[in-house]
Chain A
Amino acid sequence: MTSLREPDDLRALRPRLQAMVLVVLLALMVLLGRLCQLQVLEGEHYVRRAERNFIDTIEAPALRGRIFDAQGRPLASNRPAYTLYVTPRPRVVVETDDPGARSQTGSRVPLSDAQIDALADLVDFVDAADREQFTAAIVRRRDRDEGIYPFAVRGNLTWQEFARIQTRKDALGDWLEIRESARRFYPAGELTAFVTGYVGEITPEGLANSAGSYRPGDRVGKTGMERQWENYLRGRPGKRSRVVDVHHHPVKDPPRDALAALPPDEDPIPGQDVYLTLDLDLQRVAAEAFADKPAGALVAIEPDTGRIVAMLSVPAIDPNRWQQPIGRDQYKAWSESLLKPFIDRTVQEHYFPGSTYKVVSALAALDDPTFDPEKTITCDGYVNYGGRRFKCTHKHGPVNLEQAIVQSCNVYFYTLAIDTVLSLERMELFARRLGLGERTGIGINSEAKGRIPTEAFEAREGTYQRGVRLNSAIGQGNVTATVLQVAVLYAAIANGGRVMTPYIVDRIETPDRRLVLQNKPQVRRDLEPVLPADRDRIHAGLTGVVNNELGTAYSERLGSVVVAGKTGTAQVGALDKKNKNPKPGPIPGFDFTQDHAWFAAYAPADAPKIVVVAFVEHGGVGADAAAPIVMKVIENYLGSRSETPQPRRPGGVPPPLPGRRDKQEVLGDSGPAPDRTVALTGARLPGDRPLGPPPPKSEETGPSGHVAKTSPAPSPGRSGSKKKADKPASKKKHASKKKPAAKEVLP
């Protein structure tokens, strides 16, 4: 204690203590000033930045619209699925007090290759390339700014994958997330593969061209309906905002200010449903008829309306396959397959129509006033012209126009071509009038135009020879057409000369059943004034093909209904031989030396309700390979039609529930379906009353009443329930004058 100094020692300290007080006050002022700057003056700026931290706005995907057949059976629908999201540059939160590691906290550390590999080990890949693509997608984003956001790296996880990732999720880290999503499902599989098409991940080019309306990883329609109606099917994604923490995890009980700062949610608008004119049953019958044919196509349309009721191309790839990654080997196998499974043979590829084209030649010939269809030409089995010999199938002897069609005599048409009754110009005129050489307007699967030769075209191609005219007359040479075009052509013959625009979409509705768009039959070109009388001759010839003993398809005739049609055998086998490609393909039944087989038909012959065209690639002779297929389809279509009380109608509203089907169909039937023009969104179908009771039309509500009403009609196949049927019938009055013997009425 003695060493302690007296208080006067303290006096020396005072000036410096006062200086220290000043320092403290100065420091306080500085801190308060800075605090004021950050909190009061610049506060708003930091509030916004805080919001950017915790507000996570995610796109709420819209459920894609479904696709239904004419009976309301789903052809494309959605199933719940899981999508894997990865954040390639996640935040790292190190629980440590170490000064070195401490500076790492909250920083964004790109995923290591080992981490990506560990994740890849949990995913089932179809091959090494698939895995490479998976890791490359993560690595690519890892080095970019957008790597801080989660992105969908793999959709449609299998249950095994889902379970595996879910169990390892916590161990791997916060950069993994599995979100619920929807996957596309095609219940009919490859049966409707080319009609529905399929969805797949958007390409980088498509993304760049979409002007921001798509996001990476979005699935878009690639082919078929999925592509054509993409804008209707996709809907509009909504936006949901949520409060997330630093790990990007949603917060259960966020602070009230955070909730108040969230932007309002926008609900997703689900896509609109597409209802097709296609009949799945008929499609299946067609596919079964094609069972032993490796490649070919079939189109069935209603001649009066242009509605497509069956549209089949074989082989096809099950569109469900595209919902999973496809191995490089598998893809290579498909793209190199001689059967070309990617090609829609109904519209995408065009072929020599062969003898089915003879109706065009016949109509063109009839247009020449000097031409006498009754005059016979003697067929010796060949004709010489320009130093070349043009062959026929065999010696037909004397034939007139009708017999030339019935027996498919080439020499008859060669002779007309030599006599210049059939000039290229005239044939081209009629071919074009009948819809060949231009797209039918169905608008799916990159439709081909086909080719109709003109002299200018031949000159340009350097293929013009005098014989071209002869070959063109029988559907060879440079004449090509798609299967759908031939169907439209025969529909025009069947309905009295109206070239219809074929359509496969009946209507589009919103999910709550409001009509968005209704297709109606469209006449593309009305040829009635051009060929009223001529049609009857052609018609007689086509009826003879099946019903005359000399007819090429006589052996295939049906007992129940009179069918009119034309066989075709496009001589490609010979061509291939010439091209030194005579080796038969390795696929059984797909022999390159064989010709393409065609059969185009309509039935019943006196009042056609259906046109069916079948094309069998390298199938051989049309009558043997293609005609039986067509007959099966016709038989099924007309058979089911006369037997079942509910006929197919264009306006049938498919029911949401199986129990409602009957009511719905009758309701739809009673509505003036064909008169419905393209309606605006919000207009309601007259028969569209899913919740209300059926209208009191007793004679139409019961199956028995229906039959009773329709049975007195002269042709049972032609149901009186269609109003639109009245118009074509009246137009055909003149045609029925020369109707062939009507013993075809159903038993």
Chain B
Amino acid sequence: MTSIGRPRSLFRRIVQNIDWVIVTLVAGIVALALINLNSAGTGDWSGKIQVQMRWLGLGTIAAVIVASLDYRVLHRMAYAAYLGGLGLLGLVPLIGVMRNDARRWLELGDYQFQPSELMKILLIAALARYLSDRPSKAPRKVRHLIVPFIMFLVPVALIVNQPDLSTGIICSLVALTILALTELSLKSILALMTTGVTLFMLGWAFFMHKYQRSRIDVWLNPEAYADNEGYQTIQAMIGVGNGGFFGRGVRQGTQNTLDFLPYGDTDFPFAVYAEEWGFLGAAMVLIMFAALVLWGLGLASQARDRFGALLCVGVSSLFFFHVCINVGMVLQLLPVTGITIPFFSVGGSNALAMMLGIGILLSVSRSRHQRG
């Protein structure tokens, strides 16, 4: 009986403990994302989308494994994994693959892998461990911030050096969000924002690449650059507007299918989606992402411990910033950056990392009621 009953009870246990809200939201988002990716690509489910599906499958397996583990295993492994991730990042300049003037990839047989994407999750785990290990009632001192800042600035420096400014920005924002939630006083948050703005101004004036600087000009006045730098911004807006309320239908968007909209599979998939699904579909997907993020934040407040809570905050903010900055860029609320939208943009490493994040959320969710 036991030999038969055990797996049944394990299965039942898994089914009962699975967070169906997350699974449903992610499944819905991934399904829409795949339809959209096909639309933005060749339209016959071939090419890049097959690679993406393979990575998603890999990511799903990874998520299932992580979800079935007790997340406290992560607590034990966090630093080692973080150091391993740093090691991979350190390998990139040495043996990484050069593509389009940037060295971001490591080659594993037929697959190319971006350690920086994995680093996002590893950084969240390491920061969560460090901050949860410290007693929460301890007084906040500036020197206590030195270690966490070093923890995120080292990988960010390596990533920006690839160069991959977008991933660097995302990592910084996620790390700062975690810190803002735990360590930083309101005063220091304000102080940090001020320094951030000042640094940005200085950087814009002295250190930024010309293309990065001109993006700001273009963002503020895209029509003046309609035939060159502002082209993508304007075409994306035309695509979104052309969708109207009900959308043009899958593979029926002229901006997308006639190639007026560049990078429909990397930077501007949301414009493709908005054109083909209209306001109805676009609002729906934004609400789904928001629901995922809010659900993650809800999990954080219900988590069994501080580590689990910070993991949820990290993963939620990761999704939040990706979606917010990418969609903001498409809708011309923010300047053009290379920040992708999860699952809608092609990118195997990103899909894998995002799936790992989902696995972490599921794991935290599974154990939230098992206090102690």
- Give the B-binding residues of A (Cβ under 8 A): 1, 3-7, 9-10, 12-14, 16-17, 20-21, 24-25, 27-28, 30-32, 34-36, 38-40, 42-43, 45-47, 49-50, 53-54, 89, 93, 96-109, 148, 243-247, 251, 254-258
Contacts and interface: CB of A to CB of B under 8 A. Distances in A.
Given A246-B258, A255-B251, A45 B180 contact: no
Interface stretch (B4-12, B132-140, B146-154): B132-140
Interface of B: 72, 75, 99-102, 132-133, 135-136, 163, 165, 177, 180-182, 209, 211, 214-215, 218, 227-229, 231-232, 235, 237-245, 248-249, 251-255, 257-260, 262-263, 266-267, 274, 278-279, 282-283, 286-287, 290, 293-294, 297, 300-301, 303-307, 309, 313, 317, 320, 324, 327-328, 331, 333, 336, 338, 371
8 contacts: A34-B331, A38-B237, A40-B245, A50-B238, A97-B100, A101-B101, A245-B258, A255-B254
Contact of A97 (B99, B180, B317): B99
Nearest to B304: A7
Contacts of B165: 99
B300 A17 contact: yes
Contacts of B227: 89, 107-108, 148
Nearest 5 pairs of A and B residues by beta carbon: A46-B241, A98-B100, A107-B228, A106-B231, A50-B242
B252 A53 contact: no
A391 B264 CA distance: 96
Nearest to B282: A35
A31 to B, nearest CB: 5
Contacts of A40: 244-245, 279
A45 B181 contact: no
Contacts of B243: 39, 43
A97 to B, nearest CB: 5
Contacts of A31: 286, 324, 327-328, 331, 333
Contacts of B241: 38-39, 42-43, 45-47, 49-50
B232 A105 contact: yes
B263 A53 contact: no
Contact of B260 (A12, A53, A256): A53
Contacts of A34: 331, 333
A100 B262 CA distance: 15
A264 B217 CA distance: 40
A30 B333 contact: yes
A47 B286 contact: no
Contacts of A104: 228
A39 B282 contact: yes
A443 B204 CA distance: 73
Given A50-B242, A102-B263, A14 B320 contact: no
Nearest to B275: A50
A39 B303 contact: no
A256 B249 CA distance: 10
Given A50-B239, A255-B254, 4 more contacts: A38-B240, A53-B238, A102-B338, A258-B254
B113 to A, nearest CB: 15
A256 B333 CA distance: 31
Contact of A35 (B99, B286, B306, B320): B286
A9 B305 contact: yes
A515 to B, nearest CB: 47
Counting chain A CB atoms within 10 Å of each CB, the highest count among B209, B262, B297, B324 belongs to B262
A215 to B, nearest CB: 23
Given A5-B136, A40-B245, A105-B263, A10 B254 contact: no
A13 B100 contact: no
A97 B266 contact: yes
Contacts of B249: 255, 257
Nearest to A253: B257
A244 B72 CA distance: 57
Contacts of B313: 13, 17, 20
A39 B244 contact: yes
A10 B228 contact: no
